[in-house]
Structure 1
C-alpha cells in the first residue's frame, strides 16, 4: 500500500493546493488557480462568487475543498483566509516568477529566487517525515538501489546515485527506457527502485517500476503529482514543481523541489550509516586530494614552461656540453696535442704530407 504524504491540515493549504493543481480536473483547477493568484481576495468571495469568476459551479468549489481534505466550502474559506494572513506577514512571497521578455536582469534574479525559495518551502511542507524515514531505512539496508529518471529527471537520478555511491552503497542510475526495463527485471526482494517523474505518467519510468514491484523490490516514487499513476509505488515523496512559464519549462521548474527531496533523503540515509558514511567520505576525500593538488600545480609549470627552454637550453650547452669537452676531452687535446706542435714544429710533417 502506498505511503501518502497528504493530510488535511490547514496550515499548509497553499503548498498542498500547488501540489494538487496539476492533477486536478479542469473545474477545480480553475478555482485553485484563482485562490493561488490572490488568497486574500479569494477569502472574501462567497461560494457563488468563486463559481461565477471561474465559470464553474458551487459543486466544483466543494469538490476542490474535499480534494484538499476539507469538509466543505466553509473550511476552505477559513483555510484560505489563514493562508492569506500568513502571506501578508511574510516577505516577498507573492513575487511572481513569470519572467517577461523585457525584464531587466535584477527582476529576473528576484523572481527566480522567490520562486526557488517557494518551491523548497512547499516541498518541505509536503514531505511526510515518516515516509521519508521509511525510504531511508529501505535504501540503507538495500542490496542495491536503482534510480530511474528520463530527461531532466535523469539528472536528478544521477545525483542521488552518485551520493549513495559516495558513502559506500551499491547504487546505479538509469536514464534510458530500455535500460531501465532490463535493469528492473533482475531486481529482487531487498532491492530498491526509485522512480523520478514530475508528471507521474512517464512510461519509461512507470513500466520498470511495475516490473520491479512484481519481482519483490521496494519501489519509491518522487513526483509532483500525487494523483498520478506513479503514486501506486510503495512510498511516495512529493517534490513541488515551481511555476512554469514560457522561459521556464517544466524541466527547469521541477528540478529545485526534486533536488531538495533527494538531499533530504540522502541525509537520512547517511545518518543511518553514519560511521560507514563518515569513513567513506574521508577516504574518498583523501584519495582525491592529490589529484586536486596536482591540478593546482599544473598551471605553475605551464606558465613557466615558455621561459624554461630559453634558460635551460642555452645554459645547458654553455655549461654542460661545452664545459665537458673543454674540461675533459678538449682539455686533453689542448694540453697534449696542441702542446706537441708547440714543442715539435710542424714543418716536417707538413713537408712530408705533400
Structure 2
C-alpha cells in the first residue's frame, strides 16, 4: 500500500491510479526533513545538498550533483524520485523555484536548535518559529486527494476506530471527541489489546485510522492490519510515507515535524502536525454532514453550558 491509495491489486482490468503530482517548491525542504531519517547515507547527502543550496544545485547536471555529493548518478535519481519527482529534471525545476522564493524572502531560513543555556525568551521564539514552520510544511506536503478520500470514508463510516500510542493517542482522543460531538460513533482505545479486539469487530463500511509519526509502532500497526483484513477502510497519519504502517493503509496522510533536538524529540514535536491533519479531517467531515453536525454541536454546547451553570450554582450555595 502506498500514498496513492487503494488496496493491492487482486486482478481485474481497472486502470492504475494516476501518479501524484510532484511536490511544489515550497514543500521540498519539508520533504527532505520528513524523509531524511529513512534514507541511506548517500541519499541523505544528496537531499541535504539540495535543501542547503537549492540555487547552486539547480545549476548542476545529474553528474555534477553526484560528484558534489560523492555519490552516483543513480543515487541522485533515486533521491529525486523518493522526494516525489519523476526524475532529476523535475527536481532541478523545483530547486530553481525554491531558490527564487528564498531570494524574494518568501521562504524562511532554517532555525537553530534550542540550547541548554538559551534564555527563555529565545526558547519561546524558537519554538514558535518551529511550530509555524511545521504547520506550513505539513500543509504544503499534504496530499489533498488523499485527504478528500479520507474525509469521504469518515463521513460514510458506521463506526471509526483511531489508534495511537503515547503522544499520538492524545491526538487520537482529540479526533474521536470532535467526531462524537457531531453525532458520529468513534473510539480511541489507548490499550493495545483493546485496540486489536475492537479492530476484530470492524467490517466494510467502517474506518480504522492509525496515527504514528515513525510509522513503525507495532501496537498501532497490528490493529490497523486486523482492520484492513476485516475489510474496513484504513487511513494512516504518519511522518514516514514509506514506513511499515502504510502497507495496511488505503489512504496515507503525511505530516512534517519540527527539527528534532536533544530537548525536543520527534515524538513530541510531531503532535503539532498531527493535530493539523486531524482538524482538516474533522472540518471536512463537518462540512459534509453540516445539516446534522450543526445541531449536534449546538446541543453539546448547550449541555455543557447548562452543566457549568449548575456547578456554579452548587458552588454558590456552598459559600452561602
| Structure 2 match to 1:101 | 116
Paired residue total: 304
Aligned-residue offset at 1:78 = 3.3
Contact 1:180-1:208 at 8 Å conserved across structures: yes
Q: Deviations over 1:64-123 (max 9, x none)?
A: 123234354444333223212213323672141511122222222222112111111111
State which of 210, 216, 221 in structure 2 corresponds to 1:195: 210
Contact 1:119-1:241 at 8 Å conserved across structures: yes
| Structure 2 match to 1:159 | 174
| Structure 2 match to 1:249 | 265
Contact 1:23-1:226 at 8 Å conserved across structures: no
Higher mean alpha-carbon deviation, 75-84 vs 210-219, is at 75-84
Aligned-residue offset at 1:239 = 1.4
Residues 298 and 109 (structure 1), Cα distance of their counterparts in 2 relative to 1, 3 Å cut: farther
Distance in 2, matches of 1:126 and 1:92, equals 15
State which of 287, 291, 295 in structure 2 corresponds to 1:279: 295
| Structure 2 match to 1:8 | 22
State which of 137, 144, 159 in structure 2 corresponds to 1:122: 137
Unaligned runs of 5+ in 1: 309-354
Aligned-residue offset at 1:266 = 0.3
Unaligned runs of 5+ in 2: 6-19
Residues 69 and 291 (structure 1), Cα distance of their counterparts in 2 relative to 1, 3 Å cut: closer
Alignment of 1:77-88 (within 5 A): 77-88=92-103
State which of 184, 204, 209 in structure 2 corresponds to 1:169: 184
Contact 1:97-1:115 at 8 Å conserved across structures: no
Provide TM-score, normalisation by structure 2. 0.86
**CA RMSD for the aligned pairs?**
2.4
Aligned-residue offset at 1:60 = 2.1
Alignment of 1:1-354 (within 5 A): 2-4=2-4, 7-11=21-25, 12-43=27-58, 50-51=65-66, 54-90=69-105, 93-232=108-247, 233-296=249-312, 305=319
Residues 192 and 71 (structure 1), Cα distance of their counterparts in 2 relative to 1, 3 Å cut: closer
Aligned-residue offset at 1:36 = 2.6
Aligned-residue offset at 1:300 = 5.4
Aligned-residue offset at 1:152 = 1.1
Contact 2:213-2:270 at 8 Å conserved across structures: yes
Q: Deviations over 1:271-308 (max 9, x none)?
A: 11102111111111111112223445566566xx4xx6
Contact 1:188-1:215 at 8 Å conserved across structures: yes
Greater Rg by CA: 1
Provide TM-score, normalisation by structure 1. 0.78
Contact 2:101-2:107 at 8 Å conserved across structures: no
Aligned-residue offset at 1:162 = 0.6
Higher relative contact order at CA 8 Å, sep ≥6: structure 1 or structure 2? 2
Distance in 1, matches of 2:263 and 2:107, equals 21
